Amino acid sequence: MTATFPDIWPALPEIFLALSGMALLLIGVFRGDGFTRGVSYLTVVAMLLAAVLAMGYGSGRVVTFNGLFVMDAFGVFMKVLVLVAAALCVMLSLSFNEREQMARFEYPVLMLFSTVGMLMMVSANDLISLYVGLETQSLALYVIAAFRRDNAKSSEAGLKYFVLGALSSGMMLYGASMVYGFAGTTAFDRIAILFAQGQVPSTGVIIGLVFVIAGLAFKVSAVPFHMWTPDVYEGAPTPVTAFFAAAPKVAAVALFTRLLIEPFGDLIQQWQQVVVVSSILSMALGSFAAISQTNIKRLMAYSSIGHVGYALVGLAAGTEEGVRGVLIYMAIYIVMNVGTFAVILCMRHQGRNLEEIKDLAGLSRSNPLLAGAMAVFMFSMAGIPPLAGFFSKLYVFLAAIEAGLYTLAVIGVLTSVVGAYYYLRIVKIMYFDEPVESFDKVNDDGMTAILVGTSLFTLLFFVIPAPILNGAAAAATALFAG
């Protein structure tokens, strides 16, 4: 039997990023923590180059590494989102880490290795590669959640995420083993062929799939597997929280979507009701639980739970339009989140980090530009037209209506109205409350560029929506063509 060397070109972004990570680790070891900023800049460059490599892939669907890895337009779109989000979060962390005396070269390298795992998740074509990618991502995330070792909250966040993450991984592995036991294969392509032939799925396959969905629901912080999110978001260093809210969530949603549409697309009657229930619960909890929050990072945690619920509306539709809606939603969600966390990182007074919502009082008078940016993000998250957040919800709700999920769409609209309350409350506090204390001057390090870029994207998305809409449509078409 002749061994054949796999086609490595589709996996070029992952290979390049992994090699870059090892090189940066060596550079950090020899140069020491004094070169942390240099390692961070090189990490950003490596991520952006990997995004360029992904975009240069072209079209068509290629399966390699004995069926474990797939690359297509869907993979290109989601990988670019992950890499851009990760690069922005590394930039956000520069000044914060130096001020908090946690500027160590391992931090950007861990984010880079976590991103490698995310790219593997996006291109997983087998339950085995799915798990390997997921754990590659998670192991690094466990460490950076507790990166501020002398802070009790950070250590607690890392421990909670680790324990609950291990539980979710166990559930996913159990589900994968049941699917393998009853279907006879772990390969997505073979599972798809099995059920496309009209074979009735056994109860074991359905139970296994539910366990896998439960494990992935934890990764995207969908209800009822959301319990880690508020504590970890509040306890982890703010740049880490921004990273958690952006890149890993996009990768997990991409994996969730590929898993349900490709191998289990013909079992939509079995999994649709699970996704619908999780979506409704996520939207409801994200809207109502956030109302009573006083800490802005906890509020953003419940906000992210709600946004995942809206994204799952598109996935529940199980159609090409639904997947397109999910992709548009995640692209806009990343920009809004990164911009909001950039504002939160600017909340400092006399060297102290401020995290209470009341600390934003009167911001429009002391720093009108920062208040303006925050108002844009809040209005967008509330779904106010013509901002980008309105269009993200519009496409997933339209997909649900076209799929006949009228109740789900109505509940989504109603929870959006409830959610608008706590977003608009922040705007009210900034513009109508009396100032308490002014914020320190913003240390630039790209912060101004990120704030301006994300604000303009959110504000002017309706002017040139074509790049995102067309890219999402091509990605959705590729997923169903596969």
315-367: per-residue pLDDT in tens? 999 899 999 999 999 999 999 999 999 999 888 877 777 888 888 888 888 88
> pLDDT digit string (tens) for 392-441?
999 999 999 999 899 999 999 999 999 999 899 999 999 988 877 777 67
In a domain, 39, yes or no: yes
Specify the range with the lowest mean pLDDT, choosing from 2-16, 216-230, 314-328: 2-16
Residue 451 belongs to some domain of the structure = yes
2: in domain: no
User: In which band, very low, low, confident or very high, does the pLDDT at 2 lie, cut at 50, 70 and 90?
Assistant: very low
**Mean predicted confidence (pLDDT) in 49-56:** 91
pLDDT at 229 over 90: no
pLDDT of residue 66: 87
Could you tell me if residue 1 is inside a domain? Answer: no
Quick one: average pLDDT of 464-471? 91
- Whether 4 maps to a domain, the answer reads no
Is residue 198 in a domain?
yes
What does the pLDDT read at residue 482?
63
Over residues 297-313, mean pLDDT:
93
Asked whether residue 423 is assigned to any structural domain, the reply reads: yes
**Cβ contact 108:39 at 8 Å:** yes
Residues in CB range of 286: below 8 A, 6 or more apart: 302, 303, 304, 305, 306, 307, 308, 309, 415, 419
pLDDT class for 47, splitting at 50, 70, 90?
very high
Mean pLDDT to the nearest integer, 109-115: 94
Total domain count, the chain: 1
**HEC readout, the chain:** CCCCCCCCHHHHHHHHHHHHHHHHHHHHHHHCHHHHHHHHHHHHHHHHHHHHHHHCCCCCCEEECCCCEEECHHHHHHHHHHHHHHHHHHHHHHHHHHHCCCCCCHHHHHHHHHHHHHHHHHCECEHHHHHHHHHHHHHHHHHHHCCCCCCHHHHHHHHHHHHHHHHHHHHHHHHHHHHHHHHCCCEHHHHHHHHHCCCCCCHHHHHHHHHHHHHHHHHCCCCCCCCCHHHHHHHCCHHHHHHHHCHHHHHHHHHHHHHHHCCCHHHHHHHHHHHHHHHHHHHHHHHHHHHHCCEHHHHHHHHHHHHHHHHHHHHHHCCHHHHHHHHHHHHHHHHHHHHHHHHHHCCEECCEECCEHHHHCCHHHHCHHHHHHHHHHHHHHHCCCCCHHHHHHHHHHHHHHHCCCHHHHHHHHHHHHHHHHHHHHHHHHHHHCCCCCCCCCCCCCCHHHHHHHHHHHHHHCCCCCHHHHHHHHHHHHHHHHC
- State CA 101 to chain mean position distance: 27
51 or 98, which is more confident: 51
Percentage of the chain lying above the pLDDT 70 cut: 97
Q: State the average pLDDT for the chain.
A: 89
Residue 287 lies in a domain: yes
What domain range includes position 458?
9-481
Q: Please, which residues have CB within 8 angstroms of residue 110's CB and are 6 or more apart in sequence? A: 140, 143, 144, 147
pLDDT of residue 153: 83
